[in-house]
Structure 1
Amino acid sequence: MAEQATDNAHKIVSLIYETAEDVELWPTLLDACKTELQQGGDANHRERPPSSEDENILASHLLRALRINQRIEKMQNEIGAAKNVLDCLPMAIMTVDAQCSIVSANKLAHKVVSSSSLLKIENGTIYATRENAGLKRIVVATLGGMNTSKENSSAIKLADVQANSYLSIFAVKTTDSSDPFGRECCTLFIVSNVLSDFVSPDVLRRVYKLSPAESRLAHKLVSGDSLSEIAVKLGVTHNTARNQLKAVFSKTGTNRQSELVGLILSTPNSGDNKPFAPDAPAKNLEQQSDLKLKKMTLDDGREMAYFEFGDPSGVPVIYFHEFIVWQWWKLIDQEQFNALKVRVIAPLRPGFFGSKWKSTISLPDWSQDFLQFVDHLKLESYYLLGFSAGGPFAASAAHVSGERCLGLSLVSTIVPVENLSELEHIQPNMSRLVLGFAKYTPRVYRSFIKAILKTAGVNTGAYLREYLRHWSDYDQGLSEDAIVAKSLADSFLCTISADSSGIINEPIIATRPWGFDIDSLPQGTQIWRGAEDKAIPIKLAEKLNCIPGCVEHIVPNMGHLLIYDCWKNILETLLESPVTEPVRKR
């Protein structure tokens, strides 16, 4: 009988872990547990009360199964969210395993397959109808990390001349797959004449400062042509084409054709030919602005950098910078600014310039860094001003400051994102993709944003012009001002050049819940936003209206960068804001 009891127990434990994968088995599991615990050990199966040892054993397995189920559900949600984000991408993307079984594919990938005679899907596997061996070769070569001298070993070009169907497939190893089975996968980027042109040679020339010949060669590479084929089509020798490719590698910071293709596919396709970037961007923050960085050491040994401007003996206003640390105050009327008699102190958050990055940083973590910072400066009270991505950090600082916070102003502030639908109206599309990846698939996001920053770093001005082209008329107008344009480009370039960990990771922090209730912020909080702001659409911005007693300032005909023209009103209103106790939820 002991063997039968042991066998029954094993069956129940096995059922527990099956239930972790299929929640519909829970009733069966509960019934089996009840039956087993009520049965006695003799032949007549007399009822006996369950022993505490029996209960503890089953409880431990049930808890473990519940945790497994929660992890599976979380993973499934992440996969679903990743698919939604991938569907927004303007390129055909398909992830496959070594046997070309499809792990995931976005809408454009399905569109290409359904409209092309060159690809087909059968039983969940992708096939090339005319050169399937070639497709398998590039997948196996990519996953195996094979080094081969053969040109375009990670790419294949397919053509059906009669059907006027052409496509190129580039394979890139997936370093962080969301595949639930843990298979090693690679991502296929599919360029097809079914889709619109990805980027023009003229854009490649402007963004990467290529010569006309180099831009034509780079454009042909993305079409899937080999270097020899390109040389023939362009009417140059193979050696000339090879030298041009070396020049393209050097100017784009790439080393392989597949890497170059991935970079080009993330390039903005701008038709605007106006100059934007400065001829000689600043190399670091201090060179850019003549500001002297100061540093302090936090309790955990990390250094925090900060700088100050304005009246050293003035009213302390702590400024929380946006992603690019734009120094707009260098462009304004200094006499008017000095007349306010404010001492502006700008702490640089982890991963920006001299402030050391911390991998586990969050808004609550930052608020503790902040308290150490103001204690170091011996500030008994202060005002807080957060602009754009700095808004959540200013709000977090206000939350922990209590009566020390005399006033809080949030300008064009990012707010937590609860679902994908809230990203719908964010412009440009690249911002929507970045925030979507950051919210739902942060590990995938980091690879995505690194590729974007690499593109942006080659010609910062051209990239920013394309970025701002989708914002309001007000923001675009600022970008056409040569002085403002140079300031923006300088700030962005020195931010990504000094230490990119901050600008890479902060969108992940900004899109998560803040760790406290927004309506617990100080009464009288000043909220500023441009009526035409497309970077933070009104559906998101209105979340801040739940702050008790908040004062909302919606400025007509202005956009995200309104601080450039409204700084005086923003500061004056902040300094006049009533000193009140923060309201805490009970």
Structure 2
Amino acid sequence: MTSNRHTADKVDVVTLSDADRAATLDRLYDVALDPVRYEALLDHWESAIGPLRAQVDLDAPRLLDEPQISEHFRRATAFLDRLAPEDADHDGLDAMLAPFDRVPALLLDRCRHIRAANPAAHQAMALPENARLFDLPIHEADMDALAGALDILFDSREKDTAVLRVRSVQAGHLIVFRLQRCVAPDGSVLVLAASNEISMPPGFCEILIEAFDLTQTEADILCHLVDCRGVNEIAAERGRSVDTIRAQIKSLLAKTETHSQLELVRLALSMIDMTAMTVRAAPGPRVVSRGYAALSERDFKSLVMPDGRRVDYLILGAPRGRPVLYLPLDFGLVRWPASAEACATLRGLKIIVPLRPGYGLSDMVAQGADYDAALYDDTMRVLRAEKVTRCPILCLSGDAYYAVKLARLNPLAFSGIVACSGMLPLTRREQFERMHKWHRFIMAGAKYTPHLLPFMVKAGFLLARKIGKRNFLHAVYGNSIADVATIEDPEAFEALATGSEVALSDNHSAHAAFSRQLVSGQLDDWSADVEALRGELPLVFMNGAQDPQVPLATFEEFRRDYPWIEFHLLEDAGQLAFFRHWRPVLDRLTLLLAD
């Protein structure tokens, strides 16, 4: 290790020795070629960079800010990009369907295979994998007419559009198809078919119930009417008399202040249009958050921000319960163990979980935009969409930073903060050095070498994808016996694996958003924001004694620095404390709601 001085500003610049630099770059390119070698880079990095951290001021710690090293990291990142799966649509077909949102639309080739279909078509038509024309829910007597119209479009040079009305397999239900010949990006000729099938967004019945004070039965009947079902068919399906159904429709007319079934259906259709503009179920592979054992499915909701970005969020617990804002950490842990979600429902807690920019299908902010400002604005807009005027915040670990900032920016909106495994401002170099090696590697990297962090994070995400989430969690938390036990708890692991799909899945990685959060401000000194909340609202920190990021010595420093905060120590717990010890956390949250 060598030390040089810039004479212009008199700031010491510390850098690696030639031997350490060569060894670091060797391991850097090893990881770029195979992320499984990540831990070898981690170990060498700590042995080489750790001593350098002791030589710089915590307030201005930027290390290795050298063009040559930055260029090597840029090249290594380019190697990683070859390993990362593309998030985009490879053949461009999804882009061709993108203009069709609520309207079912699909693309057919000359052999009558359905090459692609949008989510509305899958929902309305129940299409199987590798679907063909004859899988469409069309009456068999009209299938030849549709096939013939397709043949004309493929063969005719003069005609490129057609409109065709066919009967559905549902009695009394008609479908109008608009067909148009088009060319795919690969040059193949396809026909785009858009239909007038109504695709009601998930949760639409609940929207009708809230808007018009309907019963569940009335909302179901209205949805049947929108779906072109007659009174006799509805009566037969529901096992009720025709007179009963007519009486319920009469009640619907009175509650909605409409005067005919036609007017009633038009009103419902307008509600679908308004819903499509604001709150929508997410298309694509994450329409729902789906567990694999005990967790129930949860629909994602969406908002469209003023700048056009999409923001998704989940509702856990009781949909009409007392609201709680939940901040799920930069790992995107948006689901709870099944028992915890059930307990939230029984306690009447409505848990609102915004997906921050770059997670799941929430659009990432622009490169030069303020990530934190977007996160705050998105969160408040989600709360307003759910008609929340005031609620407590439950947050995990480093998200205590965002909880405090939200409370400072919106003093009337929040009634308290419960931070599980919470982290307060890190104001001492020792607080970084005490962390377990994986946490120190990322957190100290964000603090001391932020310009190199994107490679470190992206490589870590690729490693998790390659070795699997369970193995990755064991690597990260291996020195915390309590966290390892949590990972091996079946309910806890299902929540960790399912929730983190918004951060890392087979076709999505939130590594860029993860990095943006760490360098945006949470590792600066934000103690003034914490102090400003003294006497304004309760802050409750419930930390595990085996937390690899906030070990006991750091926890005790927090206690001394902020004696007015209510601290609890959970002995048999680590950073993943909430996922195994959620009961005392919900107990304290419930008391906060009762105050």
When the two structures are superposed, what TM-score results if normalisation uses the length of structure 2? 0.50
1:304 aligned onto 2:289: no
Structure 1 residues 380 and 177, CA, compared in 2 at 3 Å: closer, same or farther?
Answer: same
Residue of structure 2 in register with 1:102 after alignment: none
Residue of structure 1 in register with 2:517 after alignment: 506
Residue of structure 2 in register with 1:451 after alignment: 459
Measured on the aligned residues, the alpha-carbon RMSD in Å equals 4.1
Residue of structure 2 in register with 1:316 after alignment: 323
Q: Give the match's secondary structure for 2:298.
A: coil
1:577 aligned onto 2:464: no
Spell out the pairing of 1:26-425 with structure 2 (5 A cutoff): 69=9, 73=11, 80=14, 92-93=24-25, 178-179=65-66, 186=72, 284=286, 286-289=288-291, 290-332=297-339, 335-358=342-365, 359=367, 360-418=369-427, 420-425=429-434
CA drift of 1:506 comes to 2.3
Tell whether the 8 Å contact from 2:332 to 2:499 is kept in structure 1 after alignment. yes
1:553 aligned onto 2:568: yes
Residue of structure 2 in register with 1:476 after alignment: 484
The CA distance in 2 between the partners of 1:508 and 1:483, in whole Å, is 33
The CA distance in 2 between the partners of 1:90 and 1:464, in whole Å, is 30
Tell whether the 8 Å contact from 1:386 to 1:394 is kept in structure 2 after alignment. yes
Structure 1 residues 297 and 512, CA, compared in 2 at 3 Å: closer, same or farther?
Answer: farther
Spell out the pairing of 1:524-539 with structure 2 (5 A cutoff): 524-539=538-553
Structure 1 residues 477 and 319, CA, compared in 2 at 3 Å: closer, same or farther?
Answer: same
Q: What amino acid does structure 2 have at the position aligned with 1:458?
A: K
Tell whether the 8 Å contact from 1:316 to 1:343 is kept in structure 2 after alignment. yes
The CA distance in 2 between the partners of 1:393 and 1:298, in whole Å, is 20
1:22 aligned onto 2:7: yes
Q: What amino acid does structure 2 have at the position aligned with 1:288?
A: R
Structure 1 residues 316 and 404, CA, compared in 2 at 3 Å: closer, same or farther?
Answer: same
Tell whether the 8 Å contact from 1:525 to 1:547 is kept in structure 2 after alignment. no
CA drift of 1:383 comes to 1.1
Percent of paired sites with the same residue = 18
The CA distance in 2 between the partners of 1:567 and 1:106, in whole Å, is 32
Structure 1 residues 481 and 433, CA, compared in 2 at 3 Å: closer, same or farther?
Answer: same
The CA distance in 2 between the partners of 1:304 and 1:106, in whole Å, is 34
The CA distance in 2 between the partners of 1:312 and 1:184, in whole Å, is 49
Tell whether the 8 Å contact from 1:386 to 1:392 is kept in structure 2 after alignment. no
Q: What amino acid does structure 1 have at the position aligned with 2:438?
A: M
The CA distance in 1 between the partners of 2:442 and 2:317, in whole Å, is 35
Q: Give the match's secondary structure for 1:559.
A: coil
The CA distance in 1 between the partners of 2:462 and 2:69, in whole Å, is 29
Tell whether the 8 Å contact from 1:523 to 1:547 is kept in structure 2 after alignment. no
CA drift of 1:538 comes to 3.4
The CA distance in 1 between the partners of 2:518 and 2:572, in whole Å, is 27
Structure 1 residues 185 and 303, CA, compared in 2 at 3 Å: closer, same or farther?
Answer: closer
The CA distance in 1 between the partners of 2:42 and 2:551, in whole Å, is 26
CA drift of 1:319 comes to 0.3
Structure 1 residues 549 and 383, CA, compared in 2 at 3 Å: closer, same or farther?
Answer: same
Tell whether the 8 Å contact from 1:520 to 1:547 is kept in structure 2 after alignment. no
Tell whether the 8 Å contact from 1:83 to 1:106 is kept in structure 2 after alignment. no
Structure 1 residues 331 and 91, CA, compared in 2 at 3 Å: closer, same or farther?
Answer: farther
Aligned residues: 340
The CA distance in 1 between the partners of 2:390 and 2:288, in whole Å, is 28
Q: Give the match's secondary structure for 2:412.
A: helix
CA drift of 1:91 comes to 6.0
CA drift of 1:426 comes to 1.1
Match of 1:432 among 440, 448, 470: 440
Tell whether the 8 Å contact from 1:315 to 1:342 is kept in structure 2 after alignment. yes
The CA distance in 1 between the partners of 2:513 and 2:490, in whole Å, is 27
CA drift of 1:415 comes to 3.3
CA drift of 1:529 comes to 0.4
Per-residue CA distance 1:495-515 (angstroms, 9 max, x = gap): 223341223332323323448
Tell whether the 8 Å contact from 2:400 to 2:422 is kept in structure 1 after alignment. yes
The CA distance in 2 between the partners of 1:285 and 1:469, in whole Å, is 33
Q: What amino acid does structure 2 have at the position aligned with 1:305?
A: D
Residue of structure 1 in register with 2:167 after alignment: none
Structure 1 residues 441 and 369, CA, compared in 2 at 3 Å: closer, same or farther?
Answer: same
Q: What amino acid does structure 2 have at the position aligned with 1:489?
A: A
Tell whether the 8 Å contact from 2:392 to 2:593 is kept in structure 1 after alignment. no
Q: What amino acid does structure 1 have at the position aligned with 2:564?
A: G
Q: What amino acid does structure 2 have at the position aligned with 1:525?
A: L
Q: Give the match's secondary structure for 1:457.
A: helix
Tell whether the 8 Å contact from 2:442 to 2:453 is kept in structure 1 after alignment. yes
Q: Give the match's secondary structure for 1:413.
A: coil
Structure 1 residues 575 and 366, CA, compared in 2 at 3 Å: closer, same or farther?
Answer: same
Structure 1 residues 95 and 525, CA, compared in 2 at 3 Å: closer, same or farther?
Answer: closer
Per-residue CA distance 1:345-391 (angstroms, 9 max, x = gap): 01111111122222333545533433333333332211111112322
Unaligned runs of 5+ in 2: 29-40, 49-62, 74-283, 292-296
CA drift of 1:343 comes to 0.7
Unaligned runs of 5+ in 1: 1-19, 24-68, 97-104, 113-175, 188-281, 581-586
The CA distance in 2 between the partners of 1:553 and 1:106, in whole Å, is 32
Structure 1 residues 311 and 504, CA, compared in 2 at 3 Å: closer, same or farther?
Answer: same
Q: Give the match's secondary structure for 1:346.
A: strand
1:467 aligned onto 2:479: no
Q: Give the match's secondary structure for 1:402.
A: coil
Q: What amino acid does structure 2 have at the position aligned with 1:295?
A: S
When the two structures are superposed, what TM-score results if normalisation uses the length of structure 1? 0.50
Structure 1 residues 304 and 21, CA, compared in 2 at 3 Å: closer, same or farther?
Answer: same
CA drift of 1:490 comes to 4.1
CA drift of 1:486 comes to 4.3
Structure 1 residues 419 and 548, CA, compared in 2 at 3 Å: closer, same or farther?
Answer: closer
CA drift of 1:288 comes to 2.8
Residue of structure 2 in register with 1:262 after alignment: none
Per-residue CA distance 1:314-338 (angstroms, 9 max, x = gap): 1110100112223552432555332
Tell whether the 8 Å contact from 2:289 to 2:499 is kept in structure 1 after alignment. no
Tell whether the 8 Å contact from 1:92 to 1:106 is kept in structure 2 after alignment. no
Per-residue CA distance 1:137-173 (angstroms, 9 max, x = gap): xxxxxxxxxxxxxxxxxxxxxxxxxxxxxxxxxxxxx
Tell whether the 8 Å contact from 1:415 to 1:543 is kept in structure 2 after alignment. no
Q: What amino acid does structure 1 have at the position aligned with 2:352?
A: I
Per-residue CA distance 1:266-306 (angstroms, 9 max, x = gap): xxxxxxxxxxxxxxxx9648253422111112333322211
Q: Give the match's secondary structure for 1:329.
A: coil
